[in-house]
Amino acid sequence: MMPRTSGFETAFQCVDCRACDEVCPFYLASGSVEYGPWSKVKAVQGILLGSRDVSDVLGELYSCACCGTCSNVCPAGVRVDELVRAARAMAVERGLVPEGIARMCKSIIETGSIAGKPEAWGLWLPGGRLGPERGEYAYACGCMVALRMGEIGRAALALMEAAGLKTVALGRDERCCGLPLLDHGYGDELRGIAERNTLAVEERGARVLVTECPACYTMYRHFYPRLYREPRYRVLHTVDVLHDLVHSGKLRPSREIRVKAAFLDPCHYAKRDKRYDIPRGLLESIPGLKLVELSRSRDTGYCCGISGGTKLMFRDLVDRASLLILEDARRAGASVVVTACPACTYQLSSAARRFEVRDVSVANLTALLAEACGINAR
């Protein structure tokens, strides 16, 4: 009998072509069928047919970043990310969630922070200041900026303020967007987070929410309306706003940055909404920068592997998926990989240190633009 959990609608559309494996970060990094999307589809089919138990396929279910790249290329319309989420929801119901994942999700539910550090939401702000209480633009930095990469958030605020935008950071009122809860099957708990975060933005009087984190972008833009209601504000990624400010002349990148740069398309922003040209156009506005393409980009672009807490269980696999990106950038002649995702920035930098990659560096697009505009936001 079909389990009551929804999300399995496309499970039996698979035609066994395995095109999905050829774009999966973990299959590419390992060469093992077990870590690829096709094995996950087979595992879910087995669960639905009663020939396999959830407890038997935890390795397949949790070695997935839910990046959606496999679903982008599937000719039969199989949504592997949705199948994985639905099967993980069954693991939640049966108490089978791996310890590290369960601990992370519990922290988000109880503290609003993936690391159990709610105080971090205000600590990244310039000089510890809280800023205005209300503004036309509200800025959500996301977990990685709050915890580890505050300089990206400070650069974003400095750029928007330099362009004359009335911007308020959510700061201490911000909480994790809940994407890890979505990815790991905690749907009931996620509804309350969607309501709380939607209202927090509206209480600031903002007509636009600007998110630095692509995960936050996809949650606020696509999932919160389903989980709660349509917001009274637009949702944009920082790249969208900065692109418009540069092309309207309100920001003027004038400092040369003479590098060859390869852009890594963020899974939850570029791939989901096909927003490939906007970040590239922003990069091309920087004097001296030459843009080159990775061999895998846009719809079939690489995923660094870190999304959804995957590194808690598969650290080596995630690092090797990131190494593939750095090696491909080297072959393309790039001296820097630029991302528009703080988590990707962190993960690629971590992999570069681990594998001692010295000829390819990692940069965040927001911080790079601030440098080109002569803004020191560190």
Contact 80, 40 (CB under 8 A): yes
**Half-sphere exposure of residue 167, counting CA atoms within 13 Å on the CB side?**
24
Q: What residue type is 207 in one-letter code?
A: R
Q: Which amino acid is at 94?
A: R
pLDDT bin (cut points 50, 70, 90) of residue 128 is: low
Architecture (CATH level 2) of domain 11-96: Orthogonal Bundle (1.10)
> Which 8-state DSSP code applies to residue 20?
T
Distance from C-alpha of 158 to C-alpha of 172, rounded to nearest angstrom = 19
Q: Measured in Å, how far apart are the chain's first and last C-alpha atoms? A: 57
The answer for residues whose C-beta is within 8 angstroms of residue 165's C-beta and 6 or more apart is 136, 137, 241, 245
pTM for the whole structure? 0.95
Q: Across residues 246-273, what is the average pLDDT?
A: 96
**Lowest-confidence range among 82-86, 96-100, 127-131, 347-351?**
127-131
Range 251-372 has CATH code 3.20.20:
no
Q: Are 207 and 136 in contact (CB under 8 A)?
A: yes
Q: What is the mean pLDDT of residues 194-222?
A: 98
Q: What SS3 string covers 162-211?
A: HCCCCEEECHHHCCCCCHHHHHCCCHHHHHHHHHHHHHHHHCCCCCEEEE
Where are the chain's structural domains? 11-96, 100-244, 251-372
> Please, are residues 97 and 28 in contact by the beta-carbon 8 Å criterion?
no
Confidence (pLDDT) at 126:
82
CA distance linking residue 30 with residue 27, whole number of Å: 5
Per-residue pLDDT, averaged over 65-87, amounts to 97
Cα–Cα distances in angstroms (integers) from residue 224 to residues 36, 150, 171, 228, in the given order: 29, 25, 20, 6
**Which pLDDT score is estimated for 131?**
61
Amino acid at 47: I
Kindly report the average pLDDT of the chain as a whole number. 95
DSSP 311: G
Among candidate residues 231, 228, 142, the one with its CA nearest the CA of residue 179 = 142
State how far the Cα of 21 lies from the Cα of 28, in Å rounded to an integer.
8
Beta bridge partners of 211: 140, 237
Do 251-372 and 100-244 fall under one CATH topology? yes
State residue 184's pLDDT score: 97
Q: Is the dihedral of CA 366, 372, 377, 378 positive or negative?
A: positive
Q: Write out pLDDT tens, residues 177-189.
A: 999 999 999 999 9
Strands 260-264 and 290-292 come out as: parallel
Look at the alpha carbons of 99, 101, 102, 103 in this order and tell me if their dihedral is positive or negative. positive
pLDDT greater than 90 at residue 217: yes
Q: Is the pLDDT of residue 1 over 60?
A: no
User: What per-residue confidence (pLDDT) applies to 376?
Assistant: 84
Tell me what pLDDT residue 377 has. 74
CATH class in words for 100-244: alpha beta
Tell me: the pLDDT tens digits for 269-282? 998 899 999 999 99
Task: Give the model's confidence band at 203: pLDDT under 50 very low, under 70 low, under 90 confident, else very high.
Answer: very high
* Percent of the chain's residues with pLDDT above 70: 97
User: What's the pLDDT at 272?
Assistant: 85
